[in-house]
Amino acid sequence: MSIHTAVNSQDKETKGTEFLGSYLETLSMVERLHRLLLDVIKDEFERLGLLDINSVQALLLFNIGENEVTAGELKSRGYYQGSNVSYNLKKLVEAGYMHHHRCEIDRRAVRVKLTTRGREIRTIVSELFERHAGGMVGQDVIEEVGLQNINTVLRRVERYWTDQIRYIY
pLDDT tens digits, 53-72: 999 999 999 999 999 988 77
Half-sphere exposure of 59 (CA within 13 A, CB side): 17
CA distance 100 to 5: 65
Does 11 fall in a domain? no
Instruction: Give me the sign of the Cα torsion angle 115, 119, 125, 129.
Output: positive
CA distance 83 to 56: 13
Does 106 fall in a domain? yes
Q: Which of 31-45, 64-78, 136-150 shows the lowest mean pLDDT across its residues?
A: 64-78
pLDDT at 43 over 60: yes
Model confidence over 71-115: pLDDT tens digits?
778 877 766 665 688 888 889 999 999 998 887 777 677 889 999
Q: Which CATH number does the domain housing residue 63 bear?
A: 1.10.10.10
**Residue partners of 11: CB distance under 8 A and separation at least 6:** none
Q: Which of 35, 57, 32, 36 is nearest to 124 (CA)?
A: 57
Does 112 fall in a domain? yes
**pLDDT of the residue at 32:** 97
Kindly report the average pLDDT of the chain as a whole number.
Answer: 88
| Owning domain of residue 90 | 52-138
Does 160 fall in a domain? no
**pLDDT of the residue at 169:** 57
Does 24 fall in a domain? no
**pLDDT of the residue at 18:** 92
Number of domains in the chain: 1
DSSP string, 40-54: HHHHHHHHTT--SS-
Bridge partners, 113 (sequence order): 99
Does 60 fall in a domain? yes
Confidence of residue 1 (pLDDT cuts 50, 70, 90): low
